[in-house]
Amino acid sequence: MLTVVLLRRCFLFLSGLSAVACGAGPVTASAQIAPIATATVAVQPRPDEPAAQEVEERLRRHFAQYEGASSFAFFEVDFAHRVERYLGLKDVAAAELARIAKEFYANKTQVSMVPKPGSVVVRHGGGRATATFVMTVRWHEEPPPAAAACGYLDDSMTWRPRSLIARHVEITARIGFDADGHIVTYEEGEVALPHLRVASRGDDLQAFSSLPTSPARLIEGDPTFVHVPNGTIVEDLGELFTCGLDQTEVDTVRKVRLNGRSMWLLAEWVYDTGHNFVGDTLLVPAR
């Protein structure tokens, strides 16, 4: 049972949805796995050693199989029978990783995990190939069941069913293959966090630590509210919740980090007046 809990926490860490390391308590972003250097000089492979292009194709084929409906049985083909290291875990059975992966991705759609072309750097040694690369990660998932509202402070605004959270991040990763081409190690480094600027035309934006459970929570105030002044620079955590409210308005909130604290912040809104569309964009790329 303890192993299952640790593995579940590992997959949360892999997804970037949690700053909880495998088997550890909450940590700050600076205490996560150290960034993986991408400037490693590649060693010229022998004729029997895979070159970067071949390894990139292996990675592409492996991650292309990640999808919500997958059984993840391919883990038992692509990974070694015992995986030496998977994030914070050591000596893990590939079959166990497959089971937990299936559970983790079950509620996700439009999953896309793509190694960035040309980013793969391969080193060889001891009969192994170790690849460092950048990967673009995307998926959609439903918001938490308790969440019922977002956007402006209007008690009529509850999000429609099928409103989704979209995740889009770039991470660095390192993966090791044994002499037979099986994956024996997987580690993640830093997540790229683009900076955004609040462009609210002079007014503070109200941010909240989780998606609201009701419109009333927005109207009556909440102790977790943070007032974010115009011009504030925040880090984009790569999660976007586009919520259809009724037939007239769509609001988009984005998960950001400010002073080490994650929060949801209104990014843009569009309203159909019946005659035309009006709206505003409240988070823009920082220059």
Q: Indicate if 108 and 237 belong to the same structural domain.
A: no
Does any domain span residue 58?
yes
pLDDT number for residue 74 = 96
Q: Indicate if 90 and 200 belong to the same structural domain.
A: no
Does any domain span residue 155?
no
Whole-Å CA distances, 234 to 34, 210, 228, 237, 255: 22, 17, 10, 9, 10
Q: Is the dihedral of CA 92, 21, 233, 152 positive or negative?
A: positive
pLDDT number for residue 164 = 82
Whole-Å CA distances, 113 to 3, 57, 61, 75: 26, 13, 10, 15
Q: Indicate if 239 and 122 belong to the same structural domain.
A: no
Alpha-carbon distance of 193 to 237, in angstroms, equals 6
Q: Indicate if 114 and 16 belong to the same structural domain.
A: yes
Q: Indicate if 135 and 203 belong to the same structural domain.
A: no
Residue keyed to tokens 């770039």: 170
E strand or H helix at 102: helix 94-105
Note the pLDDT tens digit of each residue in 182-208. Answer: 999 999 887 888 999 988 877 777 777
Whole-Å CA distances, 111 to 64, 106, 206: 9, 11, 31
Asked whether residue 60 carries a pLDDT value surpassing 90, the answer given is yes
Q: Which two tokens stand for residue 222?
A: 């909440």
Give me the number of domains the chain comprises: 2
Alpha-carbon distance of 249 to 161, in angstroms, equals 14
pLDDT number for residue 16 = 39
String of DSSP letters for 39-60: -PPPPPPPTTS--HHHHHHHHH
Q: Indicate if 66 and 122 belong to the same structural domain.
A: yes
Does any domain span residue 44?
no
Alpha-carbon distance of 60 to 40, in angstroms, equals 21
pLDDT number for residue 205 = 75
pLDDT number for residue 31 = 32
Are 159 and 143 in contact by the 8 Å Cβ rule? The answer is: yes
Alpha-carbon distance of 118 to 148, in angstroms, equals 42
Does any domain span residue 163?
no
Range scoring the smallest mean pLDDT among 25-39, 156-170, 189-203, 244-258: 25-39
Q: Indicate if 75 and 200 belong to the same structural domain.
A: no
Does any domain span residue 153?
no
Q: Indicate if 57 and 133 belong to the same structural domain.
A: yes
String of DSSP letters for 64-98: TT--TT---TTHHHHB-SEEEEETTEEEEEHHHHH
DSSP annotation of 235: E
Q: What is the pTM of this model?
A: 0.70
Note the pLDDT tens digit of each residue in 220-250. Answer: 455 566 778 888 999 999 998 877 656 666 7
pLDDT number for residue 7 = 38
User: What mean pLDDT value characterizes the chain?
Assistant: 75
Q: Indicate if 187 and 208 belong to the same structural domain.
A: no
Q: Indicate if 187 and 200 belong to the same structural domain.
A: no
**Percent of the chain, pLDDT > 70?**
69
CATH number at residue 77: 3.10.450.50
Q: Indicate if 187 and 64 belong to the same structural domain.
A: yes
Which one, of 207, 213, 200, lies nearest residue 225 by Cα? 207
Q: State the residue range of the domain holding 214.
A: 195-285
Does any domain span residue 154?
no
Q: Indicate if 10 and 112 belong to the same structural domain.
A: yes
